[in-house]
A and B are shown apart, each in its own frame.
Chain A
Amino acid sequence: MRHGILNKKSWIAKVRQDRYLLLLVLPCVLYYLIFKYGPLFGIVIAFKDFNLHRGIWESPWVGLKWFSQFMNSRDFWPVLKNTFALGFMKLLFGFPAPIILALLINEVRHVFFKRFVQTVSYLPHFISNVIAAGIMTMFLSPRNGIINDLISLLGFDRVNFLVEESWFRTIYTSSEIWQHLGWSTIIYLAALSTIDVQQYEAARLDGANRWQTTWNITLPGIAPTVLIILILDIGKVLEIGFEKVYLLATPAVYSKADIISTYVYRVGLSEGNFSYASAIDLFTGLISIIFIISANWASRKINGNSLW
């Protein structure tokens, strides 16, 4: 029966045949249906004056009121600018960092040391943002923070990092890199392990040194992965987590630290203005989509690698 022509089978039989595979994928499908697609219907409240008790359908339509309110608010430009600035800084420094680390780890021959570095670098990923911000606050403290102790040891003046607006973006970006560097490295290490060993051997026979093998074999080997991650990351430029910014910000640095998500929290969620919050989120979602589509298009034009 197995070598009968498959597409002649009824779909019930197909389901029966692949039941274990389908069962494997079921949780994943359910997850997306329930948590990602289900709530999409809620987007309509961005165009309504949502009232909890009356529910989504009973609330009156207000068209683009919330969008224009956001764009006309005094905080619109600064908030947008800060979000982009943080997002691009994170992309600029946070994107190459794990690639460099992966290449370095890949060059290490000592297995134990390799494992050790990997473990240590991806542990911070599992720390909650609250703890991470707490650690940052302690390290950066002008009273007894380890970083300021070092600075004064070298003979410089202590810096009150968390109330100096010029420091905020640097602090945020470096804390993001510290937290997620090791974790992002994993995917590149996986990509590195798929490169054919014979290529390296051939290169060595031809007299290539380490730099040349890295440049001519390793990098081209992981290029598709790098590009795909880059496209995804560009789409995430505006998706800056609310938590850490909120926890690290003090009033003195609002002019740099007020971003879209903290604004939504302040004006929308904490005041129970869900329609406004949804409208702003929809707005950022649209920008993200434009970003990701353009990045994908550019990448396809340049070298034919793309997500779709």
Chain B
Amino acid sequence: MSNKSVMSKVLLILAMVLATTACSTQNSNTSSSGTSSSTSNAKSGNNRTVTLDMMVFQHPSWPYKEDWAIYKYYEEKLGIKFKVTAPPSDYDTALNLAFAGDTPDIMIVSNLTQANTYGGSGALLNFFDHLDKLPNYSKFLEDHPEVKSAILSADGKNYYLPHYGLEQTNRRSWTYRDDIFKKHNLKAPTTWDEMYQVAKELKKLYPDSYPIAIYDNLTGLTNTAAGFGTWFGAYVDYEKDEWRYGPIEDSFKEMLRYLNLFYKEGLIPPDFMAMKRDQFNDLLAQDKAFIANDYMIMDEVPVIIQRTNDFSLDYMTPPIGGDHGKPHNAYDGLLNRGMAVAANTDNLDEVLKYVDFLYSPEGSELATYGKEGETYYVKDGNRRFNDEFVSFGMIRTSTGIATYGSHLVVDMNAYAYMSSDKFNEAMVEIKNGHEAPLQPRLAYTKEENDTLTFKNAEINKYRDEQIAKFILGQSDFSTWDQYVSEIKKLGLAEVMKVHEDAYRRAQSFLNN
């Protein structure tokens, strides 16, 4: 009898566990208790604390912690508490679920298009309707007209608040092993012909090396194309004020010729397409690659591969490729992710107060530094973060400073002293004419988006497949014209028209 009852209890628990897990996966991320502090007795001057629901994208390197100090400072300053959900994976799905169910007051959106899609369907707040309550944000947009063009919707509304500052470290760049180059009296290449010579040289010295490291399918082409004066996709040529499609231009073909040559002679890894970052790091670590095309990795990689003493990477001026090449890296500008606010938020005033504060000088200072005596101290008139924070990443991990949800504007100069001189000099170098002009970030109407989705799906697939085959030598360059006409046949003109229209529309909004 007792056995039976134990058994039944176990089973009951099992069933309950199953049912609850089922429920919790059904409405994940809606752990909010419906409306937060619905007793909105708006007594002015009353220091009541409001709790806002916020959903943030979680960076794997600094996952959200409940005891992050930065949110404590906001509570002290503004009387606003945050209940943060940070979905551990597949953020977009979590966000979709949140829209279908209980939308948080504030959320991080993945990109402008997503914000405009949700905004257009009525789910998000149009900030332009509330500019009277957003004085600091208005001023920020006035001071940064280039930002203003990257946050609009197709009908000139604004559902998307930009992050500003962090994108500075998000630059792509060429780097090279300056120690190895010195050792063998080699000069850093300035053109792709020199690149070829140097790579051959290195291959002789290190026979089992692949001197130039590119990896991860075709992502390396984005930065390489900028050096040939073209672009891996549709782009606007500011000099001629016209839209062009990079992958069918002659300069792009020129680039593919070089890459094909390098592939044939073993100067790039034969499996560069299947390689991921780990294998790329391994190549560098084992002295099997000496020139890299990635982000600004000169400070991180030696630490990751545990060779801080006998390994040095430095910035390399982007080599010029072909007749129309420029010493340029590609740069995306603003971070893709932005902040958005639910249209039906119960705490509109507090939400606006918070986001506007983040755009104010005082707010961005708090978001950048935290609090004196707690996160930083002043020494010889300079602000220095606590000594236990040895890197910018560590500040973010421990305090929540400069993470999604806790900032909109940060001043990157605050963290510059933590980077190496090499890194800081490279940043200056890049900004001084070694960067392709910033491409506009456009807003599309629903019809335009549909065109782009379906046409681009076909064009990109064909494009990537053919480009890969040109590099690998599976397609001969004599078939280039067929490739170009095939791309055109797939509806390139329509796609370009969509970009052109959206671009002119954005310009007309800005000139008003």
Residues of A within 8 A of B394 (CB): none
Given A252-B474, A255-B465, A143:B269 Cβ within 8 A = yes
1/0 per residue A262-274: CB within 8 Å of B?
A: 0100110001110
User: What band does the interface of chain A fall in when counting residues whose beta carbon is under 8 Å from B?
Assistant: 35 or more
B454 touches A69 (CB 8 A): yes
Closest B residue to A248 by beta carbon equals B274
Closest B residue to A164 by beta carbon equals B474
Partner-contacting stretch, out of A4-12, A52-60, A85-93, A206-214: A52-60
Partner-contacting stretch, out of A23-31, A108-116, A287-295, A298-306: A23-31
What number of B residues sit within 8 Å (CB to CB) of A? Answer: 42
Number of A-B contacts (CB under 8 A): 106
Closest A residue to B270 by beta carbon equals A142
Give Cα distance in the complex from A263 to B457, angstroms: 9
Q: Any chain B CB within 8 A of the CB of A215?
A: no
A73 touches B461 (CB 8 A): no
Closest A residue to B14 by beta carbon equals A27
Given A75-B458, A254-B461, A20:B274 Cβ within 8 A = no
A75 touches B461 (CB 8 A): yes
B18 touches A31 (CB 8 A): yes
Residues 141-166 (chain A) with a chain B CB within 8 angstroms: 141-143, 158, 160, 162-163
B468 touches A250 (CB 8 A): yes
Closest A residue to B8 by beta carbon equals A20
Question: Which secondary structure dominates chain B's binding surface?
Answer: helix
A55 touches B453 (CB 8 A): no
B19 touches A30 (CB 8 A): yes
Residues of B within 8 A of A19 (CB): 8
Given A20-B7, A23-B8, A250:B461 Cβ within 8 A = no
A160 touches B270 (CB 8 A): yes
B271 touches A266 (CB 8 A): no
Residues of B within 8 A of A160 (CB): 270-271, 472
Residues of B within 8 A of A233 (CB): none
A267 touches B453 (CB 8 A): yes
Q: Any chain B CB within 8 A of the CB of A16?
A: no
1/0 per residue B465-493: CB within 8 Å of A?
A: 10111001010000000000000001000
Q: Any chain B CB within 8 A of the CB of A225?
A: no
Give Cα distance in the complex from A26 to B217, angstroms: 47
Give Cα distance in the complex from A30 to B457, angstroms: 39
Q: Any chain B CB within 8 A of the CB of A137?
A: yes
Closest A residue to B110 by beta carbon equals A272
Closest A residue to B17 by beta carbon equals A27
Residues of A within 8 A of B461 (CB): 75, 254, 258, 266
Give Cα distance in the complex from A250 to B270, angstroms: 13
Interface centre among B11, B123, B467 (most CB of A within 10 A): B11
Given A30-B18, A52-B96, A74-B458, A272:B468 Cβ within 8 A = no
Residues of B within 8 A of A252 (CB): 273, 465, 468-469, 472, 474
Q: Which residues of A contact B (CB under 8 A)?
A: 19-20, 23-24, 26-27, 30-31, 34-35, 51-55, 69, 73-75, 137, 140-143, 158, 160, 162-163, 250-252, 254-255, 258, 263, 266-267, 271-273
Additional 11 contacts, C-beta under 8 A, given A52-B99, A53-B123, A162-B271: A53-B118, A54-B122, A73-B458, A74-B490, A140-B274, A141-B271, A163-B472, A250-B217, A250-B468, A254-B465, A272-B96
Q: Which residues of B contact A (CB under 8 A)?
A: 4, 7-8, 11-12, 14-15, 18-19, 22, 26, 92, 96, 99-100, 114, 117-118, 121-123, 210, 217-218, 269-271, 273-274, 453-454, 457-458, 461, 464-465, 467-469, 472, 474, 490
Q: Pick the 10 closest A-B CB pairs, nearest first.
A: A53-B121, A251-B464, A252-B468, A53-B123, A250-B273, A251-B468, A254-B465, A267-B457, A142-B270, A162-B274
Between-chain CB contacts (< 8 Å), 14 pairs: A19-B8, A20-B11, A30-B19, A34-B22, A35-B22, A53-B99, A53-B118, A140-B274, A141-B271, A143-B271, A251-B217, A251-B273, A251-B468, A267-B457
